[in-house]
Amino acid sequence: MRRFWSRSIRRQLMLGIALVHAVLMSIFVLDLVERQRQFLAEQSIAQASGLAKTLAANSASWVLSSDLEGLNEVLQSQASYPGLRYAMVVRPHGRVVAHTDRSKAGLYLQDRLSRSLFDDRPEPRLLLANRELVDTAYPIVANGELVGWARVGISQSAITAGLWGITRDGILYTLVAILVGSVFAFLMARGLTQGLQRLVVVADGIREGRRDMRAESARQDEIGQLAKNLNQMLDALAQRERDLSAAQADVQHLATRDTLTQLPNRLLLMDRLGQAILTAQREHHTLALLVIDLDRFKTINDSLGHHIGDQLIQQVAGRLSNCIGAGDTLARLGGDEFVVVRSEIAQPGEAGHLAQRINEELRQPYWIEGHELNSSCSIGISIYPDDGNDAQTLLRNADTAMYHAKEGGRGDFEFFSSDMNRRAVQRLKLENELRNALLRDEFRLLYQPQVDMRSGQVVGAESLIRWHHPEMGIVAPTDFIPVAEDTGLIRDIGAWVLREACRQQLRWCAAGLPPLRIAVNLSVRQVEPGLVDLVSRVLSDTGLDARYLDLEITESLLMHNLNANIAVLRQVSACGAQISMDDFGTGYSSLSSLKLFPVQTLKIDRSFVRDLVDDQDDANIVRSIVAMAHSLGLRIIAEGVENEDQLGYLRELGCDEYQGYLFSRPVTAAEFQTLFAGRAEGSA
């Protein structure tokens, strides 16, 4: 081997130079591929984190309102994102609320990565980052409380394929360089040494990061060809980097733009608003923030469909763009809300003139697929620095002003002012009136019949409270019950409902009706040790047989003081009263917790009954609830039954009883008695 190596200088040069080329080009390709891999990995993590953060920001209001359709719409808007493997919204306890794969909605995540989200720390998480997948989660926080996680998984297959292409090309060009260098060394040993030295210099420069370096290629021999090949390889790699940078720019655009209108989304808005505030601070000028909310958009969207609503949003975005200046920012917060940032105004009146112009523009009719649509807007305005010194405060105050404008009659605008406390005043008034409602005998009970599935006979009634105020009229329970719970008035109101419902059951019996089960709803605030004495006292005072009293609780009891609540309900059950779980399936129940409660009845929530016939998921849920309840020896009552198809389907599933508008709306005690008598005569 030594004799073979030493006999030919040409061979030594050819083999030596080939070896040098192989080493240098291999180092270059490996270094380039590694740098590219690190760059793409970092960008992929940033991309996934940005998407998760955007999803969290767009999902907060839908999570709070438990609007699954809204959440699914937000997720599906992200489904076409390049490389997206999945996106989901997860409750803090691991329940999947919404998923790009809708079959996984409602499941609980118990894998090791998912369990790391159960510690309630509201901070972004990088759950996984490898050559196959990047998995990130971002907290969904509302009112300072963690309400869920936005979780995004992005496939790394495209990046892996790109890196393999770069590596393959690098290897190919390395082999070509070695071949050309060997031929040149064979023909011109002296020139080969000089030419290779120049190539080594270029390779070293590229490895050090000077990507603009290129080899001299004026020569027409092999060294010149080698230089050209090297330059082509470097140009190809540089082009790949430019393509990847452009792709990253596209990703950044998607992460900061609204997909429907291509306007800046909340993420980009907050960044630009923050920059505008810094500029205003530095240059001592004023800026205005306008929050714009379309009037009647929900009506249009619900009546004509989402595709019409989407086109309306796009046309509104176009009109708003025509109303603003080159230095202004127009963004879409989501739904039918837009924001305009005017970065510099001489006086607040300029913002008012802009709001008037926007309102005039948006009032003009819209023609969409043959429909003439009309929609005004309500606008709230906040001014920096008068109404806030940071982006969040300005946006919140402008939003408050917008709601005041909407309450004032829609189609108008209002500037934020510190005395905008109308809602607080109204709530205080409602609280004061509520304190006197019992004394003034303003509460009434309505009763909704509960009907046996098999016999069709009325077997019970649910008592429902209504407030008849002399000035405000009928106040909805959804308006005054939360106030009553917050102030503790729910205890006195609940005691009145319990006593009045028991008395009415006895009045019906005295009027000739058979003994009926009377259901009374309990607030979470009522489930306390004093409830046992209250139930015992009411049963004793009225003389009602305890087995005809049905106390309805909700799954929210599982959220706080579980053991104490169970103890109270067991004592109530020991008095002879029955316990029902109302709105079952919408809360936090599980078999392990449900079996601890002394429950005799489960009431299927109307949200599952509504689409029971057409929605297989709802049908499967109801079927599972019925099977589970019967296996535990529990009675099943379906709420919200409104048509014969629902009734027939529920009967086939084995449901025991039902209530809903199909049989009767909630009625007064006298109407209930008449209704029962009429049914009895019809049956006879």
Q: Which of 184-198, 311-325, 531-545, 636-650 has the lowest mean pLDDT?
A: 184-198
Task: With beta carbons less than 8 A apart as the criterion, state whether 124 and 138 touch.
Answer: yes
* Average pLDDT score over residue span 663-683: 83
Give the contacts of 293 (CB within 8 A, at least 6 positions apart). 336, 337, 338, 377, 378, 379, 402, 406
Closest CA to 461 of 453, 452, 469, 470: 452
Residue 424 has pLDDT above 50, yes or no: no
Quick one: pLDDT at residue 466? 95
Check if the beta carbon of residue 493 is closer than 8 Å to that of residue 443.
Answer: yes
The per-residue DSSP string of 602-638 comes to: EEE-HHHHHTTTT-HHHHHHHHHHHHHHHHTT-EEEE
Tokens standing for residue 221: 């021999």
Q: What is the mean pLDDT of residues 390-410?
A: 85
pLDDT at residue 558, as a whole number: 64
What's 48-157's CATH class? alpha beta
Q: How does pLDDT run across 580-593, given as a tens digit for each residue?
A: 988 776 655 555 56
Q: What is the pLDDT of residues 12-40, one digit of tens each?
A: 666 776 677 677 777 777 777 777 777 77
> 439-683: which CATH topology?
TIM Barrel (3.20.20)
Mean pLDDT on 399-404 = 86
pLDDT for 11: 61
Give pLDDT, residue 560.
60
CB 573 within 8 A of CB 553: no
- The upper half-sphere exposure of residue 477, i.e. CA atoms within 13 Å in the direction of its Cβ, equals 13
Query: Which is more confidently placed, 496 or 165?
Result: 496
Residue 145 pLDDT > 70:
yes
Interacting residues of 26 by C-beta distance below 8 A, sequence separation 6+: 174
Comparing 355-369, 390-404, 550-564, the range with the smallest average pLDDT is: 550-564
Domain residues of the chain, as ranges?
Answer: 10-36+160-254, 48-157, 266-420, 439-683
Q: What is the rounded distance in angstroms from the CA atom of residue 324 to the CA atom of residue 167? A: 49
Instruction: For domain 266-420, say whether CATH 3.30.70.270 is its number.
Output: yes
> pTM to 2 decimals?
0.44
Residue 87 tokens, joined: 């996106």
Please, what is the average pLDDT of the chain?
Answer: 83
**Average of per-residue pLDDT across 392-420:** 84
Same CATH fold assignment for domains 48-157 and 439-683: no
Most confidently predicted of 160-169, 280-289, 299-308:
280-289
Size of the chain in residues: 684
Q: How far apart are CA 467 and CA 2, in angstroms?
A: 107
310-322 pLDDT, tens per residue? 999 999 999 999 9
Per-residue pLDDT at 510 exceeds 80:
yes
Paired tokens of 674:
């008449």
For every residue of 240-265, DSSP letters joined together read HHHHHHHHHHHHHHHHHB-TTT--B-
Q: What is the DSSP string of 413-463?
A: EEE--TT--HHHHHHHHHHHHHHHHTTTT-EEEEEEEEEETTT--EEEEEE
How far is it, in rounded angstroms, from Cα 488 to Cα 404?
Answer: 29
- 123-132, 155-164, 567-576: least confidently modelled range: 155-164
pLDDT of residue 2: 58
How far does CA 263 lie from the centroid of its chain?
Answer: 20
Torsion, Cα of 176, 181, 182, 186 (10° steps): 140
Q: What is the rounded CA–CA span in Å between residue 391 and residue 382?
A: 11
| Mean pLDDT value of segment 485-513 | 93
Nearest to 151 by CA among 121, 132, 124, 130: 124
Q: Considering only CA atoms, which of 379, 378, 400 is closest in space to residue 388? A: 400
